[in-house]
Structure 1
Amino acid sequence: MTTTKGFKVTDADRKTRVGIAVKNFDELKKKTIDKFKLKFLPGQIDFQTTDGTIIENEEYFQTLPPQTLLIWVKVGEKAPTDAEILYKTIREVNDEYLTAGEKVQQFFTEKMKNKVFKLAEVLKGLDKDSAKFSSRSEHPEWFEGLNTNSKTKEEYMFRRAQDRIRTYFYKTKDELNKKDVPRNALRELITELDSKLKLNKYLGYYFNRANAGDENMKSICDQNGNFQCQGRWDKEQCLYHPSHSINPYASREARIVFQTWNLDHNKERSRSIIPAVCAALHSVGRLSGNDKVRKLLDHVGDVHADKCLDVKSIFNDLFTVNNLKFVHIVCHDKGAHVHAKAGPYLL
């Protein structure tokens, strides 16, 4: 290496970043010791890239482009990778389920483009061939850090989809219980929604690539595990080129980043569906009748009418892809979906 190249050098905590111009690997070690005021000899420190690759020799060092961020570590130690830092952050800011909910959205609010770019860089160049593996024995790295009894990726992803749908159910239940609505009607509605979810296994097949060819319980991804962003709530498709995509089956890093993708309600759950359900509950007064559609007689103003609660439509709007789009975090619009109105949920 005869020409000088500049590198960005930091420590394992990423708290200090220093620009260093050097001609070779040995010079990088010496200048790093000087700049960071380290009490080490050159042979006592190593360098790694942000994806965890250790720079072992001059030959590899010469292949690095200028302005590469390098992390110095003591020999025998490793600094957290970008993916590991991201994973730790998500775990710290998230709720009971790692569903990339509102708190994760807040995490991405500042410097959104830089963070999204960082996510893309984490996944770039990873071994996509690993996606074909399924079991823990075939791809143990994929399961690293997981507290799960799942023996396959498909089983784990099935449960993650269930977690998201359960979260919608419990949030809906909690919000409705706080509303001034007929108690008997509400209890029957919640019971029926819960029964339908159990019957459909909480829609866990959404993330299970084994269901890609099943017309009745079809996954959002293809048979290889590739998910495509379906675009913002008011758009037909993702407007980015190339469109956002991810395969959480490919690597541990991709599995982690997958948590930042959202199942977004077109007709919003809190702003639109919940108020419409409350209005419907008030209209019917209480629920009675057959299993599928609960009927009763009630007075609406001066008109005596039969009222039927449309439980199927409520279920579809809360939990199914009739009203859910799977979107990259950039395409997840947190503003009011003003043109997508729910209800009236009456037959």
Structure 2
Amino acid sequence: MSWLFRKSKPFKIRSFGESKKYGVAVKNLKELLKKGCEFLQVPPTGAQVCLYEDGTVVTEAFFSTLDDNTELVLLSPGQTWSRVVCDIGQLLNADRHADRLIDAARDLLFEEKSSKRRKILSDLVRNLDDRSELESREDDQDWFTGVNDRFKTKSAYMKSNCQSRIRSYLKAVCEATSSAEVAKVRAEQLKADFTEMLKDANYNGGYFDRTEQESERLCTREGWFTCQGAFDETACRSLHSINPYGSREGRIMFSTWNLDHRIEKKRAIIPTLLRALQHPKSINLDYFYQLLFTRENLKLVHVVCHKKEAHGLLCSEERIFSREAGQSKPKRRRT
């Protein structure tokens, strides 16, 4: 029981994920855990202490070798400590120091010779130099470089960008039906119906418009888009993300992202639609509209996740034709 007569030693302790540290004076590891858990409000069951410097777990024998004011971290079960991860996390959260960090990274970049380090520094500058909170052309003129003068806000341009993509899908349908051996009257009516349906939905431009309601857009309110993964995957393995609202470079890079048809437009949807036009039955316009123009069949993907090979997915034969003969064009709902 000689530990009862030991002199208390001062330590600096913090909880996992917190940058603020507190001073405690204790005689042994047991007392350290007790005081630390009470002070930092960490459940005591399974808690342990490690060195802030390198994550080494503190045992009773190791405790006696520690210097005064050693920095420690209190961990709950399942938590592991890495100072590098912590420092990166603090760096990413250092919004109030962003300008100084950008300047420092640019200075280092100017002198750096290593290609790998230049890539890291340039990515750091690009991600920290985020002006996504600015919306108008007047406030962020650099973002609008090369953008038509008719666009006064970022959201208006991004909405138009999405509408252009959707219009290109309609154009593909129009060109295919014009060149194919199908009933021209039915083909013209099909194009007219699709055009009206798209106009009612504002060409689904809200997918890229951060000012839209959450159910309408593919991005956060701040403008961040997340890759939805390849057509045959449920999520992006590489966790790709981008904010085209943040900088001109981000806006340009976003043009390489794709709205990918899971059931392919050229290989599956349009050929099926052309066959349906040759049949006397009434076509299920709503089904083809969803496949061609909506998120029901579209996935936003980084160019790396856009698989060019055949998807091998087919249209549903049961949904090609309307169940009621002579069914009129369905009323459009926003998608």
SS in structure 1 at match of 2:295: coil
CA shift at 1:204, angstroms?
0.9
Partner of 2:297: 323
SS in structure 1 at match of 2:180: coil
CA shift at 1:129, angstroms?
4.0
TM-score (norm 2): 0.60
Preserved CA contact (<8 Å) 1:136 1:153? yes
Match of 1:334 among 308, 311, 330: 308
CA shift at 1:67, angstroms?
2.4
TM-score (norm 1): 0.58
Preserved CA contact (<8 Å) 1:212 1:220? no
CA shift at 1:128, angstroms?
4.9
Q: Which amino acid aligns with 2:245?
A: Y
Q: Which amino acid aligns with 2:292?
A: L
Partner of 2:114: 67
CA distance in 1, matches of 2:257, 2:148: 21
CA shift at 1:140, angstroms?
1.0
Q: 1:129 to 1:188 in 2, by over 3 A?
A: same
Partner of 2:276: 280
Q: 1:198 to 1:64 in 2, by over 3 A?
A: same
CA shift at 1:148, angstroms?
3.3
CA distance in 2, matches of 1:238, 1:121: 25
Partner of 2:94: none
CA distance in 2, matches of 1:274, 1:226: 32
CA distance in 2, matches of 1:346, 1:123: 51
- Equivalent residues in 2 for 1:1-347 (5 A)? 60=107, 64-68=111-115, 123-126=123-126, 127-213=128-214, 215=215, 218-240=216-238, 243-284=239-280, 307-338=281-312, 340-344=313-317, 345-347=320-322
CA distance in 1, matches of 2:123, 2:114: 20
Post-superposition Cα deviations, 1:78-110, rounded to whole Å, max 9, x if no partner, equal xxxxxxxxxxxxxxxxxxxxxxxxxxxxxxxxx
Partner of 2:71: none
CA shift at 1:228, angstroms?
0.3
Q: Percent of pairs identical after alignment? A: 35
Q: 1:128 to 1:66 in 2, by over 3 A?
A: closer
Question: RMSD of the TM alignment (CA)?
Answer: 2.7
CA shift at 1:123, angstroms?
4.9
CA distance in 1, matches of 2:206, 2:109: 47
SS in structure 1 at match of 2:136: coil
Preserved CA contact (<8 Å) 2:130 2:247? no
Partner of 2:69: none
Q: 1:207 to 1:63 in 2, by over 3 A?
A: closer
**How many residue pairs align between the two structures?**
217
Preserved CA contact (<8 Å) 1:272 1:342? yes
For structure 2, the residue ranges without an aligned partner over 5 or more in a row are: 1-102, 323-335
SS in structure 2 at match of 1:134: coil
Higher RCO (CA 8 Å, separation ≥ 6 residues): 1
CA distance in 1, matches of 2:150, 2:272: 40
Preserved CA contact (<8 Å) 1:123 1:253? no
